[in-house]
Every structure is written in C-alpha cells, then in structure tokens.
C-alpha cells in the first residue's frame, strides 16, 4: 500500500513499504495545511527519509530544522547538497549523498534514483527522484523543463505515478507537461509546483482536458493541499 500526500508546491509525504519519505519539505509553504514545524511533527512523529531535489529555498524548505528534530531521519540529495544540509544540521552520519543515475538501495524493498532535471542549483546538480519498491514506482520530477530523456525514465523505471510541475516560468508549463506525460506514460499524474506564487499560476483542469483530447490513458489527479491519495 502506498499513500501520497501533497502539502502544496513540491512538498509530498510518501508512505511506501512502511517507511515515510518527505520530499522537498517546504512544510510552511503558502498552500500548506501546516503553519509550523511543530504541528507537522505532531501528525508525523517519525520520518525515515527527507529527500531534496535541489538547493532552492522553496525545495530545501525546513530541511535543516527537520533533521535536527527527527533524530533518526536520513537526508538524501545529490552529493554536495546532502553533505551541506547534513553538516548544517550536525547530522553528517545521517547523510545519503547520491548522484544522478546511480540507484541507491535504501532497504531490502526500496531503491532511490536521482534523475536529471533541466534547472539550476548552486550546490550539486538539480535532480528529480525515482522511488522504487517491489511493485511500485513513483517519479517526482523536481523543478525541471521538458527533456527527451524522460523516454529513458519511462523505459527503465515505468513510473506508475508521476509528480510533475505545471506552473511554468521556472519549470514546465501545461504545454510541456502534456508532452512529458506522452514521454513518461504514467498511469497517474499529480500536478505540482503551481499557484504558490503569482508567476506560477496554472489551471490543472486544463491538463485533464489536454490528456482527454489526446486520447491518453493517463489519469490526472488534482490534489487539494493536504489531501492524501491511496494507491493499492
């Protein structure tokens, strides 16, 4: 059983194989149901992994504070970023520094792969994330423009669920996201990285229409911030 919860922007809580992954934890983003770290910790007494796609503030979010509070959470990111965040949180022994394209076996069941992202980042390369378990595959694209290697991501990892930015300006907009869906062929798409700020306003129902018009078999699930979806 897999639960995916959107906290607004690019922040997700993913429960996979009884482990809890917190992705791009800007917990207190303007759309988030949480206004403080304390209220988040009340709901989630334990987090196993914090995964950060790149070093922009709206993705690193409250990572350092969370690493200090969750004493056994581990930090996964591209090498330079993981080492920086872990050292700031005095948690260097909990760093899992990776790099693009290298599968990291986190446990018997779960593997993490950093994927390329067309974006920028001052510490380490910007990335997306694939989370794989025995019969489940999730792709969090991070902040990225469209790129043709999504075909390889589809071929190698067959994501059942793809979390794709649609807000434009810094990342893909709708026109690029529909092409990404054609390349990735996921069963489900969850739009993210939109409506947090004025410059990334987008209407996710437009993406649903585009998928229908093109006769694609993907289902676009529009989350309200704070909403959870359960995938069997």
Q: Which is nearer to Zn ion, 53 or 154 (CB)?
A: 53
Q: From the CB of 133, what's the least distance to Zn ion, in Å?
A: 27
Tell me whether strands 188-192 and 2-6 are parallel, antiparallel or unpaired.
Answer: unpaired
Using the rule CB under 5 A, which residue among 56, 74, 94, 193 binds Zn ion? 56
Q: From the CB of 173, what's the least distance to Zn ion, in Å?
A: 15
Q: Which is nearer to Zn ion, 55 or 136 (CB)?
A: 55
Q: From the CB of 205, what's the least distance to Zn ion, in Å?
A: 25
Strands (DSSP E) contained in 28-181 are: 49-51, 74-78, 95-98, 104-105, 111-116, 127-133, 136-140, 161-165
Residue with tokens 């872990």: 86
Q: From the CB of 143, what's the least distance to Zn ion, in Å?
A: 4
Could you tell me how many residues of this chain bind Zn ion (CB under 5 A)? 2
What does the DSSP 8-state code read for residue 118? B
Q: From the CB of 142, what's the least distance to Zn ion, in Å?
A: 8
Q: Which is nearer to Zn ion, 142 or 204 (CB)?
A: 142
Which two tokens mark 226? 């704070």
Distance between CA atoms of residues 168 and 99, nearest Å: 26
Q: Which is nearer to Zn ion, 70 or 114 (CB)?
A: 114
Does 143 participate in binding Zn ion (rule CB under 5 A)? yes
CA distances from 196 to 96, 99, 102 (A): 29, 28, 32
Q: Which is nearer to Zn ion, 56 or 74 (CB)?
A: 56
| Range in contact with Zn ion (rule: CB under 5 A) among 48-56, 145-153, 158-166, 173-181 | 48-56
| Three-state secondary structure call for residue 156 | helix
CA distances from 105 to 3, 31, 130, 186, 231 (A): 20, 33, 12, 23, 22
Tell me whether strands 188-192 and 161-165 are parallel, antiparallel or unpaired.
Answer: parallel
Q: From the CB of 67, what's the least distance to Zn ion, in Å?
A: 20
Rg (CA), the chain: 16
Q: From the CB of 120, what's the least distance to Zn ion, in Å?
A: 7
Does 94 participate in binding Zn ion (rule CB under 5 A)? no
| Range in contact with Zn ion (rule: CB under 5 A) among 35-43, 135-143, 179-187, 212-220 | 135-143
First to last CA, the chain: 5
Q: Which is nearer to Zn ion, 45 or 57 (CB)?
A: 57
Does 9 participate in binding Zn ion (rule CB under 5 A)? no
Q: Interface with Zn ion by CB under 5 A: which residues?
A: 56, 143
């Amino acid at each position: 059983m897999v639960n995916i919860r959107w906290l607004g922007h690019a922040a997700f809580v993913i429960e996979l194989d009884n482990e809890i992954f917190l992705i791009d934890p800007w917990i207190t983003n303007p759309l988030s149901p949480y206004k403080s770290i304390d209220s988040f910790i009340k709901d989630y007494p334990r987090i196993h992994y914090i995964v950060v796609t790149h070093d922009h503030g709206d993705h690193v979010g409250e990572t350092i504070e969370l690493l200090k509070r969750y004493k056994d959470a581990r930090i996964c990111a591209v090498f330079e970023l993981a080492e920086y965040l872990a050292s700031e949180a005095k948690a260097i022994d909990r760093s899992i520094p990776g790099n693009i394209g290298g599968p990291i076996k986190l446990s018997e069941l779960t593997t993490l792969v950093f994927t390329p992202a067309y974006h920028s980042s001052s510490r380490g390369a910007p990335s997306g994330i694939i989370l794989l378990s025995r019969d489940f595959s999730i792709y969090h694209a991070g902040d990225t423009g469209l790129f043709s290697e999504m075909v390889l991501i589809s071929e190698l990892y067959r994501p059942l669920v793809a979390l794709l930015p649609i807000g434009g300006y810094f990342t893909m907009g709708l026109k690029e996201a529909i092409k990404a869906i054609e390349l990735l062929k996921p069963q489900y798409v969850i739009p993210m990285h939109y409506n947090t700020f004025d410059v990334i306003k987008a209407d996710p129902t437009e993406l649903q229409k585009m998928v229908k018009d093109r006769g694609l078999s993907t289902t676009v699930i529009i989350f309200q911030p704070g909403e959870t979806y359960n995938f069997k």
